[in-house]
């Protein structure tokens, strides 16, 4: 099997991730704020170590502003509800995922306006500027599109948003672990990440960063393992991690994050960008193909369709005929699929990861060439 669906979840996981999860399940648990040593005997619990490492990933100097959840979807819902946007104007880009769109369109905001993107999936800066002219707004931006791989200019977007008195929320689901991030330098107010993609951790892990001084009301309340006699929170952050945390998942995420940092994100990005760019240039030569991506590609993924076949048929043949796993459909980003003129059924997405080899990409290219040739007959 050739796995080209890393934008959905990375696979296979590093062996150290599997070991960390297994050890966490077999050893006495170390809950947050309750233990001096983690399951491997290191000083400090897993959560504290993970916060520090995530600070390096995100470009955040104070790791205490980083919190853990079950993933990006939970984090985004917490931010939308906690910011109290039900009476507010919210701006979203056409590249947003349904984990942003659905909470907002189901009572999360008084009004939602959509910032148009160009054919590659980049936010149109002049449109953003015009929309912000009407007043402050919370602005949600998908840093790296999960459809085209377009990477947004967060520093410039942040400048525009803050000059208008707004708040910037960045979805880093496709970025964290594979694209260099500088949240504090770029003045991003909130950054949301998932653990099971570029960070190589288990599913059911993720979290968010909130800048100092920003008020976001907790969505959940409960036990935290400390200061149990207090029934009212003095600070919002005390309610972000309540109940029994996913210890094995966080242990696995720590192992995944450490594997990323040991390689170096700059190295990872350069390597994957070289591979995806080479593949893109070769695919451009296939007759009847439509590519949905910047030229050259920016993130470790892009989408395509063939003129002679539906995306679903293309993906079906790739898997059942050649053993190649891709992703097909609208990719939970219906606004962008329409904006970049994908077929009604969506597109086929290919996404690479640290385990993807040049030989696998050559095999995929040959298979696609054969499918395109046969489909055109």
> For 65-86, what is the mean pLDDT?
95
Tokens of 318: 């790739």
Q: What CATH number did the domain enclosing 113 receive?
A: 3.40.640.10
pLDDT in tens, 270-320: 999 999 999 999 999 999 999 999 999 999 999 999 999 999 999 999 999
Q: What is the pLDDT of residue 41?
A: 43
Q: How confident is the model at residue 190 (pLDDT cuts 50, 70, 90)?
A: very high
Cα separation, 17 vs 25, whole angstroms: 13
pLDDT in tens, 149-184: 999 999 999 999 999 999 999 999 999 999 999 999
- Please name the helix (run of DSSP H) or strand (run of DSSP E) that holds residue 73, with its range, or none: helix 72-82
The length of the chain in residues reads 377
Q: What are phi and psi of 199, to 5 degrees?
A: -85, -5
Q: How confident is the model at residue 221 (pLDDT cuts 50, 70, 90)?
A: confident
Q: What CATH number did the domain enclosing 357 receive?
A: 3.90.1150.10
Residue 337: asked if its preceding bond is cis (omega within 30°), the reply is: no
pLDDT in tens, 101-126: 999 999 999 999 999 999 999 999 99
Residues 241 and 359 reside in one and the same domain = no
Q: What is the pLDDT of residue 38?
A: 46
End-to-end CA distance of the chain: 27
Q: What is the pLDDT of residue 43?
A: 37
Residue written as token pair 């653990």: 195
Do residues 83 and 111 make contact, with C-beta atoms less than 8 angstroms apart?
A: no
> For 86-101, what is the mean pLDDT?
95
Kindly report which listed range (83-87, 99-103, 307-311, 355-359) carries the lowest average pLDDT score. Answer: 83-87
Residue 299 gets which letter from DSSP?
A: S
3-state secondary structure of 113: strand
Q: How many domains does the chain have?
A: 2
- Of 263, 290, 324, the one marking the end of a domain is 263
Q: What is the pLDDT of residue 32?
A: 52
Residues 229 and 98 reside in one and the same domain = yes
Residue 12: asked if its preceding bond is cis (omega within 30°), the reply is: yes
Residues 155 and 136 reside in one and the same domain = yes
3-state secondary structure of 238: helix
Q: How confident is the model at residue 377 (pLDDT cuts 50, 70, 90)?
A: low
Residues 124 and 161 reside in one and the same domain = yes
- Of 240, 263, 286, the one marking the end of a domain is 263
Tokens of 164: 């208008």
* pLDDT tops 50 at residue 42: no
Residues 221 and 243 reside in one and the same domain = yes
Domain that holds residue 109: 15-263
- Of 212, 229, 263, the one marking the end of a domain is 263
* pLDDT more than 90, % of the chain: 84
Tokens of 321: 């005929």
Neighbours of 104 (CB within 10 A): 21
Cα separation, 39 vs 7, whole angstroms: 30
Pairing between strand 347-351 and 327-329?
A: antiparallel
Residues 81 and 54 reside in one and the same domain = yes
Residues 186 and 270 reside in one and the same domain = no
Tokens of 300: 């470790």
Q: What is the pLDDT of residue 222?
A: 85
* pLDDT tops 80 at residue 235: no
Q: What is the pLDDT of residue 201?
A: 98
Q: What is the pLDDT of residue 242?
A: 86
* pLDDT tops 90 at residue 29: no
Average pLDDT, the chain: 93
- Please name the helix (run of DSSP H) or strand (run of DSSP E) that holds residue 4, with its range, or none: none
Q: What is the pLDDT of residue 35?
A: 46
Q: How confident is the model at residue 220 (pLDDT cuts 50, 70, 90)?
A: confident
């Amino acid at each position: 099997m050739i796995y080209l669906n890393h934008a959905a979840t990375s696979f296979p996981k590093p062996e150290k991730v599997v070991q960390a999860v297994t050890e966490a399940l077999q050893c006495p648990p170390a809950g947050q704020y309750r233990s001096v040593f983690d399951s491997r005997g290191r000083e400090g619990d897993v959560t504290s170590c993970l916060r520090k490492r995530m600070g390096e990933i995100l470009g955040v100097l104070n790791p205490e502003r980083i919190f853990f959840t079950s993933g990006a979807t939970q984090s985004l819902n917490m931010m939308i509800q906690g910011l109290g946007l039900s009476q507010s104007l919210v701006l979203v880009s056409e590249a947003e995922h349904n984990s942003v769109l659905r909470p907002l369109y189901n009572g999360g905001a008084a009004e939602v306006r959509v910032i148009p993107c160009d054919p590659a999936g980049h936010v149109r800066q002049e449109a953003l500027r015009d929309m912000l002219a009407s007043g402050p707004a919370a602005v949600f931006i998908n840093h790296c599109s999960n459809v085209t791989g377009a990477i947004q200019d967060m520093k410039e977007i942040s400048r525009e948003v803050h000059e208008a008195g707004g708040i910037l929320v960045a979805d880093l689901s496709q970025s964290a672990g594979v694209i260099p991030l500088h949240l504090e330098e770029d003045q991003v107010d909130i950054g949301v990440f998932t653990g099971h993609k570029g960070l190589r951790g288990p599913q059911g892990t993720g979290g968010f960063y909130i800048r100092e001084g920003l008020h976001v009301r907790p969505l959940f309340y409960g036990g935290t393992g400390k200061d149990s006699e207090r029934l009212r929170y003095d600070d919002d952050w005390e309610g972000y991690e309540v109940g029994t945390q996913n210890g094995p998942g966080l242990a696995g995420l720590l192992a995944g994050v450490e594997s990323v940092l040991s390689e170096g994100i700059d190295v990872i990005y350069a390597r994957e960008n070289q591979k995806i760019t080479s593949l893109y240039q070769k695919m451009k030569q296939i007759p009847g193909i439509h590519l949905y991506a910047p030229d050259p590609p920016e993130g470790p993924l892009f989408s395509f369709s063939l003129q002679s076949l539906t995306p679903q048929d293309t993906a079906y043949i790739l898997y059942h005929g050649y053993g190649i796993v891709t992703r097909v459909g609208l990719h939970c980003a219906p606004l962008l699929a329409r904006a970049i003129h994908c077929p009604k059924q969506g597109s086929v997405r290919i996404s690479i990861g640290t385990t993807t080899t040049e030989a696998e990409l050559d095999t995929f290219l040959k298979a696609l060439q054969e499918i395109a040739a046969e489909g055109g007959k």
